[in-house]
Homo-oligomer: A and B are copies of this chain.
Amino acid sequence: MKKIAVGNKRLRQKQVPPPAASRRGQAKPHTTLKRIADQLDVSMSTVSRVLSGQARRHRISTQTETAVSNLARQFNFVPNQLARGLRLKKTLTIGLVIPDLSNPFFAGIAHQVALGARQHDYSVLLCDSHENIDLEVQALGLLRHRHVEGLVLCPVGTSAAHLEDLVQAQLPIVLVDRYFPDLSLPYVAADNLTGAHEGTELLIGNGHRCIACLQGVRGTSPNEFRVRGYQQALARHRLPVDASLIVGDSFGEQSGYIETKLLLRNRKDVTAIFAFSNLLALGALRALAEEHRRIPDDISIIAFDDQPYAAYLATPMTTVAQPFSEMGDVAVKLLFDQIQSPEREPTGGILLPTNLIIRRSVKKITC
């Protein structure tokens, strides 16, 4: 086959002393462009060009090219993304801020976002705000420092004041699950209004007239829309809306437990409970079990968030499923739309339909 001149002096490797600091305990320094360049006696530009696939465009000789890429492989060379990012002003990184990764709903979203980002060759900086606004603010600052190119955020607060800066800086943002209806920030969320409406109607259709709500964090958009959907359904059927039937202020299990206990004691007329999260439902289950109430004979229950176990509970639970995977997917899409065409006005917001899954936790009763 074609023989390649090998005697070329310029490509014979020079003896370059290895970097000194290789004593025990010292981290081995990364190979750099320069080291490769020196060893091969070519310029850094050449190496850079070859290694970033621009050999063709710059008509670099095959000889040089192979020599460079061989040595790079041999050295196990990895370009320093910090230097690269600094120079190019691109970090290929997005930030993901989640209130509680141990909540399967958010974990599902995070899972999808991580996968999507990867497909765009982006990395994900993860921050768990622990449902705490201060930690969220801190996380946002941190992500700015690190020059993320975009942000997927499930905000914990009821105000968007702390997002001002980021918007001003024109950082692409997508809100997930929770959003601010009066702001023009792009978001993706479940259609909580309709979901809650349908759930409530199911209850009403089964003869329930006195329905309690285990609500989540007040002021957050999912909660407010769910409350509204519930109220609208009642109103539509000319049923009275009793504000004292809407209880709680957290999406957590504890809240579900306590509020249910209280309800059981104070409102003997309640025939059904609508739990606004899977954790809330679990808490209700605990309280119900303690008080020896059977589902659905003594009391009916329906919950937001479908989870794999819902079908196998003592009483398979009727749920309003949220498409969390799709929410993650859409979030990624909306974000990269912005990143890739910053000049275009970002989409307003997207609402995904919920899905009412009927199981056996709702009983038909006669008024």
Residues of A within 8 A of B (CB): 24-28, 30, 76, 78-83, 85-86, 91, 93, 96, 100-102, 104, 107-108, 110-111, 114-115, 118, 123-128, 130, 135, 141-142, 144-147, 165, 168-171, 253, 279, 282, 285-286, 289, 307-309, 311-314, 342-343
Q: Which residues of chain B are within 8 angstroms of A108 by Cβ–Cβ distance? A: 101-102
CA distance A4 to B290 in the complex (A): 68
Q: Which residue of chain B has its CB nearest to the CB of A342? A: B25
> B126 and A126: CB pair below 8 A?
yes
A28-B170, A289-B312 given; A111·B102 CB < 8 A:
yes
The interface residues of chain B lying within 8 Å CB-to-CB of A93 are 125
Tell me if B309 and A81 are in contact (CB < 8 A). Answer: no
Taking a contact as CB atoms closer than 8 A, the residue among B25, B126, B147 that contacts A81 in the complex is B147
**When chains A and B are docked, how far (Å) is the Cα of A135 from the Cα of B169?**
33
Q: Are A125 and B125 CB-contacts (below 8 A) given A81-B147, A286-B312?
A: yes
Q: Is the CB of B102 within 8 A of A147?
A: no
Q: Taking the nearest CB of chain B, how far is it from the CB of A305, in angstroms?
A: 12
Q: Please, could you name 14 A-B residue pairs with CB atoms under 8 Å apart, sorted by A?
A: A82-B146, A101-B101, A101-B110, A101-B111, A107-B107, A107-B110, A110-B126, A118-B127, A118-B128, A124-B125, A282-B308, A285-B312, A309-B313, A313-B314
B145/A78 in contact, CB under 8 A: yes
Measured between alpha carbons, how far is A141 from B115 in the docked complex, in Å? 16
> Which of A28, A100, A110, A171 has the largest number of chain B CB atoms within 10 A?
A110
Which chain B residue has the least Cβ–Cβ distance from A278?
B309
A85 to B146, CA, bound (A): 10
Query: For residue A101, which residues in chain B have a CB less than 8 angstroms away from its CB?
Result: 101, 107-108, 110-111, 114
Looking at the assembled complex, report how far the CB atom of A331 sits from the nearest CB atom of chain B, in whole angstroms: 15
Choice from B24, B86, B125, B171 contacting A123 with Cβ under 8 Å = B125
Contact indicator A165/B313 (Cβ below 8 Å): no
Choose from B142, B145, B342 the contact partner of A27 (Cβ within 8 Å): B342
Instruction: Name the B residues within 8 Å of A313 (CB-CB).
Output: 309, 312-314
A28 CB, nearest partner CB in chain B, Å: 6
> How many Å lie between the Cα of A95 and that of B144 in the bound state?
19
Cα separation A86 to B79 with both chains bound (whole Å): 12
Closest to A309 in B: B309
Docked CA distance A170–B30 (Å): 11
Complex partner residue of A309 from B147, B282, B342, CB under 8 angstroms: B282
Contact, CB under 8 Å: A126 / B124: yes
For A100, the chain B residues whose CB sits under 8 A away are: 111
If A82-B86, A145-B79 touch, whether A169 touches B308 (CB-CB below 8 Å) is no
Least Cβ distance of A34 to chain B in Å? 14
Contacts of A114 in B (CB 8 A): 101, 126-128
